[in-house]
Structure 1
Amino acid sequence: MNILIKDIGQLITCANKGRIPKAGKKQSEIGLIRNGNIFIEKDKIAFAGSNAELKKFLAGSAVKNYDVIDGRGKVITPGFIDSHTHFVFAGSREDEYEMRQAGKTYQEIAKAGGGILSTVNAVRNSNKSELTELSGKRLDNFIKYGSTTVEGKSGYGLDLGNELKILEVMKELNENNKYGIDIIPTFLGAHSVHPEKSREEYIYEICHNIISIVSREGLAKFIDVFVEVNYFTKEEADKIFTFGKKYGLTAKLHTDQFNSVGGIETGIKHNAASVDHLEVLKEDDIELLAAHCKDKKKRNIIATVLPGVSYFLGIPYAPARKLISKKIPVALATDFNPGSCMTENIQMIMSLASVHLKMTAEEILNAVTINAAFALNIESKSGSIETGKQADLLIFDMPSYKYLVYNFGVNHLETVIKKGKIVLHVN
């Protein structure tokens, strides 16, 4: 199928000719083309540009049969990329939410047997078919708000069989979901300590057994560790990442959510694709990240901030403005999970980033597109509207891209194009 979208009111390309994440002032560059045009050939973007450029393209193109979409009065962006979620799980924890509202902390609930281990029990009591059905419905919600690519983590199994079960569900859904959403899998066996084993025994099992099987079966691209008090230390993360690298898994980590315990230096040591959360990030660690990102010989680490968690738990917000001022590339994600951020709505996260992180609309758009793509190592395929990239597009019925954060709580998304096909009419 070939499609020409003509006379687009505002075409937001998020084009990234530098081939590095957008940081500092460049995080505000969104590649806006007024009255722009897009030509989709099969599943790829063949052209994106002005009316004058379109005439030249069509004159030289061998493709003569195509559908035409009128883009007047519309805003088109790249498909959003949710680069941090835990969408495969069973059960729910609304009772814990009420406990928090009554004054209990996340950590107190976890110590009492709730938290992550509550969901672990629900997952262990569910079969693959049940998990697939539940998770598929959540994917339907993700795409309704514009997420055309979704990262997903394991971590609610905490033993070999159940961790593999979660990753196998993601693999099956990636190969077969209603809208063709791309799912990027992450192994997060080190999400919490195994409830029936000592931490030493469980870390040994992760390193000497589970990682090799996950790699051999092609079940994950990344390996993640929750570096936090009462969870995993930076030394334990270092060991796990070393084994992960041996088996071809790229590091990511949860760090600096409640306490700062050295996760940033561990992420830098292992050249992590991203460091996520950062609610209590220290000035010294911001400087470490800035120095790493300044080194052109090293791949930039993406700082993925999760304002939905801060909103849901009532904890501090990550220092996004400081990160941007230090030229550290920032991404935004939902962290959708049953305990600390129960929403698949990336647009709400964008609104929270505007109000609480003081990010501009332009910075936010890059944070959920091209920078999020870098956080998942898919920047050559997704994250911007450029020739040769996968045709993942969102068509919004609104007068300006700034409406996304201004007219909050309203879904202006009209049409979703995934891999060159119209897969959803939302409104």
Structure 2
Amino acid sequence: MPRLENIGCLATCASPSQQDDIGLVRDAALVWRDDLVRWAGPAAALPPEYLEEPAWDAGGRLVIPGLVDAHTHLAFGGWRAGEFADRIRGRGYLEIAADGGGIASTVRATRALDEATLLQRAGRFLSEMVSLGITTVEAKSGYGLDLETELTLLRVYRRLDKRGPARIVPTCLAAHVVPREWAADRAGYVDLVVDEILPAVAAEGLADFVDVFVEDGAFSADEARRICARGRALGLRAKLHVDQLSGGGGAELAAEVEAVSADHLECVSEAGIAALAEARVVAVTLPLATLYLDQAPPPARALIDAGVAVAVASDFNPGTAPSYHLPFALTLACARQRMTPAEALKGATRYAARAVGLEGTVGSLQPGAAADFALIDAPDVEHWLYHLRPNACTATVIGGTVRYGTVPGA
């Protein structure tokens, strides 16, 4: 039963309420057995029964729960750097998509790769995410948009989860956009998702969630209702991409279908905020996407003030958020969404875990939770997110085992 001592500042994120309550403990200690936390608190209050346990040395660093990235598109083919330059020159997201770029271009590149290649690419990304202190990753399909490739992407996630060390939460996003071969029969494609793809996904147990991109150029609210209802009948809870490029009542829809999370929300309305609060839907904000698209950020301050739990995720994808640097996204959440460092950290730990259905299991350091944590070379949370560095994480521990870096005594 190891114990981590000499912790300068420990953020337990144990409280389920209050966005800024990250359970800070100075001069702390942490104890775990096997892969679960047994005790966390002030070193001076460490129960005597733990004093003889093997000691690991945190070196006076900040210790946080393993970060949870609650929105990624981890497996895909190709990149879209040309679109980055096009947007800088003034071309819009929808204009690029209408010309065959955007998601459609990634679908073509992804369909051209076999499962082994997709696994190798996604595995490399995942290893680099672990080095940043990320221990749990929600991973969406959505770049296949046919039965075979959607299943392939989700099988890649299953293999990554089994291989470890990071935990993968798989989401079926077959309703990302209507693929070009179905452009003249969008109703037929919705039928394919509802009648073939989702049942096949459920039969193999390949996903925990179903997601729909509700937006002009993607899917309507009525189509999303049908897809989410089918997902629910098959045991897949709903997550929704909503109110990203236009305000179309997406947050209200997420509340109506009892989604676990509503993601993006750059254009959310006051009524939508109230609906999310009443339905206890987590708002997943994606600061890297708003940066790359040069959008005004979602109103995180208004969401928090209304009582909505606000998560922060990377939205890692090859088009609009080509980075898995979640700590940088947290700094952006502070600078652009006006979240405090404590609020941002809660959004990438406890509330991110809630957004993927794992609250209490990951995203906090309390008795019974997974012994997933990261050592950060900073005196406190404020300094960590204020002083932008390539990587301040010196070690990542998943299930009580060091998976990146070194910890003296381990």
| TM-score, reference length from structure 1 | 0.92
Give deviations 1:238-284, integer Å, cap 9, x for gaps.
00001000000000000000012222222111211000000111122
Alignment of 1:193 with 2:193, yes or no, is: no
Alignment of 1:229 with 2:237, yes or no, is: no
1:402 CA displacement: 1.1
Q: Match of 1:48, as an amino acid?
A: A
Alignment of 1:13 with 2:5, yes or no, is: no
Partners of 1:168 and 1:410 in 2: CA distance: 32
Partners of 1:397 and 1:73 in 2: CA distance: 9
Q: Which residue of 2 aligns with 1:330?
A: 310
Query: SS at the partner of 1:33?
Result: strand
Q: Is there any run of 5+ residues in structure 2 with no aligned partner, and where?
A: none
Q: Percent identity?
A: 37
Instruction: Kindly report which structure 2 residues correspond to 1:14-413, keeping only aligned pairs within 5 A, or say none.
Output: 14-16=13-15, 20=16, 22=17, 26-58=18-50, 66-177=53-164, 180-197=165-182, 198-292=185-279, 300-413=280-393
1:97 CA displacement: 1.1
Does the CA-based 8 Å contact 1:226-1:255 persist in structure 2? yes
1:186 CA displacement: 0.2
Partners of 1:325 and 1:150 in 2: CA distance: 27
Q: How many corresponding residue pairs?
A: 405
Does the CA-based 8 Å contact 1:181-1:418 persist in structure 2? yes
Q: Match of 1:392, as an amino acid?
A: D
Partners of 2:117 and 2:242 in 1: CA distance: 31
Give deviations 1:128-147, integer Å, cap 9, x for gaps.
01100111111012112111
Partners of 1:328 and 1:145 in 2: CA distance: 27
Q: Match of 2:394, as an amino acid?
A: E
Does the CA-based 8 Å contact 1:11-1:76 persist in structure 2? yes
Query: SS at the partner of 2:9?
Result: strand
1:7 CA displacement: 2.7
Give deviations 1:269-320, integer Å, cap 9, x for gaps.
121100000011112211222333xxxxxxx210001111010111110000
Does the CA-based 8 Å contact 1:12-1:78 persist in structure 2? yes
Partners of 1:355 and 1:302 in 2: CA distance: 21
Query: SS at the partner of 1:388?
Result: coil
Q: Which residue of 2 aligns with 1:295?
A: none
1:426 CA displacement: 7.5
Does the CA-based 8 Å contact 1:141-1:345 persist in structure 2? no
Does the CA-based 8 Å contact 2:7-2:61 persist in structure 1? yes
Query: Displaced runs of 4+ in structure 1, greater than 4 A?
Result: none
Q: Match of 1:354, as an amino acid?
A: C
Does the CA-based 8 Å contact 2:106-2:143 persist in structure 1? yes
Partners of 2:391 and 2:110 in 1: CA distance: 32
Q: Which residue of 2 aligns with 1:297?
A: none
Pick closer, same or farther for the CA change 1:12–1:57 going to 2, 3 Å: farther
Partners of 1:195 and 1:326 in 2: CA distance: 40
The worse-fitting range, judged by mean Cα deviation, of 258-267 and 167-176 is: 258-267
Q: Match of 2:139, as an amino acid?
A: G
Query: SS at the partner of 2:71?
Result: coil
Partners of 1:402 and 1:85 in 2: CA distance: 25
Query: SS at the partner of 1:34?
Result: strand
Pick closer, same or farther for the CA change 1:124–1:84 going to 2, 3 Å: same
Partners of 1:225 and 1:151 in 2: CA distance: 15
Partners of 1:238 and 1:55 in 2: CA distance: 52
Give deviations 1:312-349, integer Å, cap 9, x for gaps.
11111000000011111100000000010000100100
Give deviations 1:101-120, integer Å, cap 9, x for gaps.
11111111000000000000
Partners of 2:361 and 2:270 in 1: CA distance: 34
Query: SS at the partner of 1:398?
Result: coil
Q: Match of 2:275, as an amino acid?
A: L
Provide the aligned C-alpha RMSD in A.
1.4
1:67 CA displacement: 3.0
Partners of 1:215 and 1:126 in 2: CA distance: 24
Query: SS at the partner of 2:169?
Result: strand
Query: SS at the partner of 1:27?
Result: coil
| TM-score, reference length from structure 2 | 0.96
Query: SS at the partner of 1:28?
Result: coil
Query: SS at the partner of 1:348?
Result: helix
1:53 CA displacement: 2.9
1:353 CA displacement: 0.6
